[in-house]
């Protein structure tokens, strides 16, 4: 069965998660601070990491960023937090989180989110390598470069870019993009917009010409600016 790491300092929340998931056959580990949580994540294999934002020792955002940037750990991360503003969500996704659940949350919904993350992580139907202009995406190596510069995206951001590049220069509707990235388990209505912010910050912001285009009321496309 699935193995989950819970990095959460609230003992009641941890106890509730254990009580709900252990009878279902899930294997659980937990840490009560960021430093021990990072150690467990670095030294063990997990299917999903449940990560509180406000942690002693090291906050969840910093921990997630270390996982992605320093340890190159691709395990899906679900942020658990009482903060629900767009800026908080953007910060979480920019650090490398894949999903975001606001406290208090339903354990049934948590289970659904966990299974969706695992399914997306395991089910990779995309082609090996794609190029649009000077932007290149390699599925097997999980790398992205533009003009020779290495870019870093969350696993969800990687899938969004994969879909846009695979269909370029066709416009991909918001609904189609959500379905290809999340299947039937589409998260909150602003999730795509938040993830797109992170994708643009890497793909477009450091460069002179933008490649990602928003078609108001329709969706998104990615173009080769040298061919426009």
pLDDT at 141: 80
| Residue 125 confidence (pLDDT) above 50 | no
Residue 126 banded pLDDT, cuts 50, 70, 90? very low
Query: What is the reported pTM?
Result: 0.58
pLDDT at 128: 67
- Average pLDDT of the segment spanning 136-157: 89
pLDDT in tens, 151-206: 999 888 999 999 999 888 888 888 888 888 887 777 776 888 889 999 999 999 99
| Residue 124 confidence (pLDDT) above 90 | no
| Residue 133 confidence (pLDDT) above 80 | yes
Which tokens go with 96? 């490398």
pLDDT at 1: 67
| Residue 135 confidence (pLDDT) above 90 | yes
Question: What is the spatial distance between Cα 194 and Cα 198, in angstroms, rounded to a whole number?
Answer: 7
pLDDT at 40: 94
| Residue 123 confidence (pLDDT) above 70 | no
DSSP state of 139: T
| Residue 114 confidence (pLDDT) above 90 | yes
| H helix and E strand count, the chain | 8, 12
pLDDT in tens, 9-64: 999 999 999 999 999 989 999 999 999 999 999 888 898 999 999 999 999 999 99
Cβ neighbours of 158 (radius 10 Å): 22
| DSSP secondary structure string for all residues of 162-187 | HHHHHHTTSPEEHHHHHHHHHTT---
Mean pLDDT of the chain: 88
Q: Are strands 27-31 and 143-146 parallel, antiparallel or unpaired?
A: unpaired
pLDDT at 139: 81
pLDDT at 122: 65
């Amino acid at each position: 069965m699935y193995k989950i790491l819970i990095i959460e300092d609230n003992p009641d929340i941890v106890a509730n998660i254990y009580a709900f998931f252990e009878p279902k056959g899930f294997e659980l580990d937990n840490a009560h601070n960021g430093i021990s949580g990072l150690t467990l994540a670095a030294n063990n294999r997990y299917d999903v990491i449940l990560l509180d934002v406000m942690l002693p020792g090291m906050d969840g955002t910093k921990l997630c960023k270390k996982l992605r940037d320093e340890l190159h750990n691709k395990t899906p991360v679900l942020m658990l937090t009482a903060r629900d503003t767009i800026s908080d969500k953007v910060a979480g996704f920019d650090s490398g989180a894949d999903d975001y659940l606001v406290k208090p949350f339903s354990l049934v919904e948590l289970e659904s989110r966990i299974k969706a993350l695992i399914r997306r992580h395991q089910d990779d139907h995309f082609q090996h390598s794609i190029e649009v202009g000077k932007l290149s995406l390699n599925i097997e190596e999980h790398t992205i470069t533009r003009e020779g510069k290495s870019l870093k995206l969350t696993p969800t951001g990687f899938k969004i870019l994969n879909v846009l590049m695979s269909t370029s220069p066709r416009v991909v509707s918001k609904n189609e993009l959500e379905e290809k990235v999340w299947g039937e388990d589409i998260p909150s209505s602003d999730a795509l917009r938040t993830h797109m912010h992170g994708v643009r910050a890497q793909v477009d912001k450091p460069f002179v010409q933008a490649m990602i285009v928003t078609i108001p009321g329709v969706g998104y496309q990615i173009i080769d600016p040298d061919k426009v």
